[in-house]
Each structure stands twice: as C-alpha cells, then as structure tokens.
Structure 1
Amino acid sequence: MRTVPLVGGPVEWRGALDLETTPAGVMPRRLPAWTKEQYQDPSVHAPTVMPSGVRLVFRTDARTLEFEVLTSTARLDGDPRPRPTGMLELLVDGALAGRRQAPVGNVLRMAGPGARQRLVAGKPGTVRFAGLPRGMKNVELWLPQQTPTELVALRADGEVLAPLPDGRRRWVHHGSSISHCIEADGPTGTWPVVAAALAGAEVINLSQAGNALLDPYVARTIRDMPADLISLKVGINIVALSAFRLRTFGPALHGFLDTIRDGHPDTPLLLISPVSCPALEQVPGPAATGPDGRIAALGDPADVAGGALTLTVVRAELARIAAARQASDPHLHHLDGRTLLGPHEADDLGDGLHPTAAAYRRMGRRFAAYAFAAGGPFG
C-alpha cells in the first residue's frame, strides 16, 4: 500500500470550497475560508464542516483502498452511545461499490441540545475497500453528510491518477436542512445527489442545516464560483426562526438574487419554496421541538396580519417576486416545493419537519424529472 497525498497530488476534492489543514489531516468546508469572519454563531460553523456532497475523486487501478478518517460526533450526557457517524460510500465508475460505517473518533459531549460542548478526543480509524474491479477506473469517496470528517490518509495498492474532465454541468444548490439531508441513509441518498446522478450533473451542495437565511456571504460565494445551474430553496428556516417579517423578507430576497446575478446574469436559476410542514403552514414561528420529538410552531396566527411569516405567506411572496423579476430575467424559474413533498405525505416527515431517507430519494427523483426534463428550467 502506498500513501497518496490528499492535497497537491492527483486526488481532487469536490463539493468543498475550503480545505483546512488540521493537526490530524484535512478538514473540508463547504464555504470559503473568508466567510468565517462574517459569522460568530457555532450553529453556522457546524453544518459548514458537515460534508454533505463532499467527495474525493480520482482514477486508479488499485484493487484495495484504505481511507484513514477522524470523525467528530455529538453525544448527550446520559446517552450510552454517540450519535450515528454516518456512512462512507465508494463509487466506482458511477456505481456504488461499497458502504462502510464511519468510525467514531472525537466525541463532543453536551449536557443537552444547544449546551456548550466538551471535547473527548478520539483517534482516527481506517476504512478499507477491497476486491475492487481490475483495471483503471473512476473512483469517488463520499463523506458522511451529517458528521464533520477529517481525512488523515489515503492508501492504495496501485497507481492513483487525477480524474479526467467529464463535461458534466456544474449545479450549485443552496438550502436548509431539508437540502443538507442529515436524515438520508447515506451521502449519495441526499435528494440533490440523487437528482444530479439521474441528470448527469455535478452538484455542489451549499445547503446549511438551520441556516438558509439569505446570508449575504452565501450570495457572494455563489456569485463568485463557476456554475452552469443554480437553485435556491428558501423559506423554512426563515419561518422557523422568525428571521424576517414580511416587510424585510422581500428586500432581503431581492438583494440575495441581485448579488448572484452580478456574477451569473444568464445562468438558469430555480427558486424553490418550502416543502410541506403542517405545523408551520398557517402558524408563524418560532418553532421548537416538543416533548414528543415533533416540531411545533410557537407564534400567534393573529400576528400574520401584522407581517409575521408562515409557510403559506412565504410561498406566495416567493411566487410574486419570481413573477415580477421574470419580466427582466427570463432565466429565473420558480417551483412550489410541495411538488417535491406535499401535504398528503406528512407521514414521511419523521419529526414533522424533516423527510425520511426514503422521502429524500423520492424528492430527488421528482426534482430530476421536473428540472432536468426537456423544457424544464435545467433541461
């Protein structure tokens, strides 16, 4: 087995916009390094280093590959085990060739949700994929979408070469936890990855669980990166966190779109409203998780008349803004998110908010059938 450099060598990182060198190895981040100065809340940093859609890509004739990784997973005091670390998935020539549970490394202990974390340092673990097909092949290692994962080493029993250009269009997507897909059954089971695989596109998933809040640094990131296709899924975090009123939501969305259009004036851009979430359809946020583990809206429905936002209000405002801008922006498109998961599928929301693993895959198939079809916004 020979050791292959993780940076500056033949392997290519995709889905990560920053590679941070750590004492253990390389930590991929899904936002550029400069954005760290523009947020202070650890709830923003955490999903940024959860590598949803991040993969290591190369060509090799190796029959055996080893990946040494260091995960960081959370554990509430009193729980017998840390939260699941997720799966590492290996694709060979586009087909799933193996799945391995990511080993437990660092454990972040917490007294309760939102409490200050205490680090219990762990050690890297090795994941091995053996019996791979003979000959030169295209390989992708997908990291677990819900667990910060540092790559410590890559070892192969054959030659490792840089990937060849494949001509796929680059699709950049930004959304909430419902696009981050922590609940998916693996990194290739998130709905953006499912849709991209069906459409033959290269997806870059900038979704941030709990943080799709029209942050200007995200708009500037999308503005400045190469993109053939762009989609934005907007609304659920804005309602659940009571982040805007009706007066401020519209201008913030316009500003976000204006910034992206500064760098991508003619790129197909699909604006997606929220999927169904019964608790927040008619009642404004903020939202909280109840004793039964399900999401509940804490706002006052009477406040909607004064500008409080519900999902119903947000969908109407998104549709209105999209229609108004389309007169001067023919490459802007709009999709009602309930097309991907509707009110008749409430049983597929495990906690009343987040889809199940099966529902995420169904959303990916529906998105691909709509967006990438002939005559669709990405067709």
Structure 2
Amino acid sequence: MPSTSHTAPITADLVRGALDLEPTANGILPHRLPARARARNTDGQLAMAESQPSGVRLVFRTRATAVELDTLPTKRVYIGAPPRPDGQYDLLVDGRPAGRATATGGNTLTIDMSTGAVEHTTGPAGTLRFTGLPERDKTVEIWLPHNETTELVALRTDAPVEPAPASGRRTWLHHGSSISHGSDAASPTTTWPALAAARGGVELVNLGFGGSALLDPFVARTMRDTPADLISVKLGINLVNADLMRLRAFTPAVHGFLDTVREGHPTAPLLVVSPILCPIHEDTPGPTAYDFSRLGEGRLLFTAAGDPGERAEGKLTLGVIRDELKRIVTQRAADDPNVHYLDGRDLYGEADHAELPLPDRLHPDAAAHRRIGERFAAHAFAAEDGPFAQAEE
C-alpha cells in the first residue's frame, strides 16, 4: 500500500463551490453562504443547510496513486425516524467517476421532530482513502457529502499536490430548495444540479438550501455578489411548506429578489424555475406537516395541513405560485430579454410521478434526480435556443 507521506494544506485554491472557508479547531468548515449573509440569518434550519457542502469539492492536480482525506462530519439522527445513511464522498479523475467512500466517526445531532429539541454529541474525525489511481498527471476531484456538514481536517497523498488551473468553463449559480440541495439523491455528483452541470460543461455553485429557499434578501445579495455567467432560481415549494407569506407579499418579494440579483448580473441569462409536481400541495396550501403513520414500516411521510378553501384568502399553493412566477417573468421580459421561465412540471410532472412517485410525498428519489438533471440540461444547455446555450464565437 503506497505511503501517503505528502500533506497538502487545504487552502481556498483547492476548494470549489464554497463561498467561505471558516477556520475551526479541527481544520476548515466550507460554507455556501458568506459570513456577512450568515450574520443576517436567525434560522437554525438554514444555518444547518448552508453548512452542508452540496456541490463543494476539492480539486487538485497530482501524480498520486493514493489519497487520504481526514474529515469531521456532523451526522443527523431524527428520533423515531429511519436511520439516515452516511454521507457519500465521490471521487472523479479527469472528470470521470473513480470511486466512492464514506467517513466514520464525527459529531452527531440528535433531533426530536416533535419538540424541535437538538442534542449535540462530539466525536472523532474519520479518514477516507482512495487507492489505485493512475500514476500520471491528472485532475482529482473529491466531492463532499451534499447532506452532511463536513469539516476538512487533513489531505495526504503519495505525491505532491498543486491547485488545478481554472477550467475556463462558465460558472452556473443556482438557488433552490432541498430538491436542489440534493435531498434523497444517491451521492454528491448525482444531485440533479450536479448532473445538469456535468452535462452542460459548467462549473457549479449550488445554493440549494433544504427548507430554506424563502426569498431571503441576504441570499439575493449573495447571488448578486458572486461571480457567475449563468443564474437560475427555483422557487416556491418552501414558501408553501412554511406557509410563510400570502400572494400579496410573494409577488413583490420575488421582484425584489430578482432586482437584487440583477444589480450584480444585469445581462447574465437568468432562469426562473417553478416547482416540480408535488401532489399534496398542488391545490392545498401549507404548512407541511409530518405524517408518522408509516414509521412502523421505516417511512417518514409528509402531508399538507392547509385548507384548499384558504386560497381565496391569498394562501399559496404550487398552482398559484406557478401562475404568478410565469406572469412575473413575462412582465420582466418586456425590458429584460435575458430572463426566462421554466415550468417545473417539465422537469418532473404527472407522468413522472406515476412512474417515480415521491417516496415521502415531497422529495424525488435518486432516479428522479437523474431525470430532472437530464431534462434541465436538455432544456437549458443543449437546445439551440436554450437560456444557457453557448453562443457561437
């Protein structure tokens, strides 16, 4: 077994997809929101989601045949719910899948869903190891678990490491909900945004935050200030889940969010995506509630706790949101030719639900993530008139 005697400092030039690296007692913690945005946040769900490194990866050049990475994951245990699988690390060599691993040890958050109480237990760092890599100059990528907060402790190899040069590819900045975050995807490179980015040949910055695509102004400012060539926002489901606002507040909030993004990216292609099909909330408002009726079978489900009659009072459903987002984008397109709309049901609709139903009634499974990613790429990148199509030189 080769000796991993070279220790490479984990510095910003080895990390892609993160907007901030926080020094910790153990190493560094990648964040997907910068410190100035985190300082404006008071919600624990968003704090947890943005620290989970969906789309974040280590990227470097090396001749190494063995790579070790020490990490300190924070795993979640929900009392009464089925156990969560350990976070996956995906290895790519020159852009091709070359391995997958998990990290043992780590901290644990034990969460009581009925009360919201959280208990934090500390644990040791773990080591994952990839061996048998080709002995030649190559680009190595280690994609971090999309759904598990991960501190990076140490990187060791059996040959020197240097930062990979910039790819020269366009940067795609995306914001969305837990579906964009990657909930129920198989691994970090198989979330739908990662799959779409690979097919589109772009560098991904994923600001998909589980439960937290809520039109927060500090997220809009983050997008405004983040360099990007292509931008998309997938809005709606979390606003219904949280029963956060009525239609009167939703419309100006969307305009304000998009106005802020446009301050930093006045002409970049901007794609507004409405929710994929979710039958429980198509015509029934939120809030979304837990349905514990199938826990005995190892299944945690979700249900809509609102009343369809409340739509008359301005409560939001997915149908209402799609109609309004389409109207907003049509209105803005009159003086902004680079803003576009995509109905989320074109990514996952009724026929898809019949074939690949949402396992918990809210989140797509791994097969549906692949389908959504392929369809998004075909619409946005591949079509000649797609919003993200590469202009010919």
Deviations 1:287-333 (Å, cap 9, x if unpaired)? 11212332211112111112111100000000000000000000000
Pairs within 5 Å for 1:175-324 = 175-291=176-292, 292=294, 293-324=300-331
The range that moved more, 203-212 or 283-292, is: 283-292
Deviations 1:270-303 (Å, cap 9, x if unpaired)? 0000000000001111111212332211112111
Task: Give the distance between the partners of 1:363 and 1:131, measured in 2 at CA.
Answer: 33
Distance 1:326 1:87, change over 3 A: same
1:69 maps to: 71
Is the partner of 2:208 in helix, strand or coil?
Answer: coil
Distance 1:114 1:127, change over 3 A: farther
1:170·1:202 contact (CA, 8 Å) conserved in 2?
yes
Pairs within 5 Å for 1:1-379 = 1-7=5-11, 11-77=13-79, 83-112=84-113, 115-291=116-292, 292=294, 293-346=300-353, 347-373=356-382, 374-379=384-389
Task: Give the distance between the partners of 2:78 and 2:271, measured in 1 at CA.
Answer: 39
Please report how far the alpha carbon of residue 137 of structure 1 lies from its aligned counterpart in structure 2 after TM superposition.
0.2
Structure 1, unmatched stretches of 5+, are: none
Please report how far the alpha carbon of residue 108 of structure 1 lies from its aligned counterpart in structure 2 after TM superposition.
1.6
Distance 1:242 1:115, change over 3 A: closer
2:261 alignment partner AA: I
Please report how far the alpha carbon of residue 113 of structure 1 lies from its aligned counterpart in structure 2 after TM superposition.
5.4
Identical pairs, percent: 51
2:297 maps to: none
Task: Give the distance between the partners of 2:378 and 2:260, measured in 1 at CA.
Answer: 29
Please report how far the alpha carbon of residue 157 of structure 1 lies from its aligned counterpart in structure 2 after TM superposition.
0.5
Task: Give the distance between the partners of 1:110 and 1:18, measured in 2 at CA.
Answer: 27
Task: Give the distance between the partners of 1:85 and 1:20, measured in 2 at CA.
Answer: 23
Deviations 1:325-354 (Å, cap 9, x if unpaired)? 000000000000001100222243111110
Deviations 1:175-220 (Å, cap 9, x if unpaired)? 0001001211000000000001011110100111000000000100
Cα RMSD (Å):
1.4
Distance 1:4 1:354, change over 3 A: same
Task: Give the distance between the partners of 1:82 and 1:360, measured in 2 at CA.
Answer: 21
Task: Give the distance between the partners of 2:103 and 2:198, measured in 1 at CA.
Answer: 23
Is the partner of 1:348 in helix, strand or coil?
Answer: coil
Please report how far the alpha carbon of residue 114 of structure 1 lies from its aligned counterpart in structure 2 after TM superposition.
5.6
Instruction: Give the structure-1-normalised TM-score.
Output: 0.96
Structure 2, unmatched stretches of 5+, are: 295-299
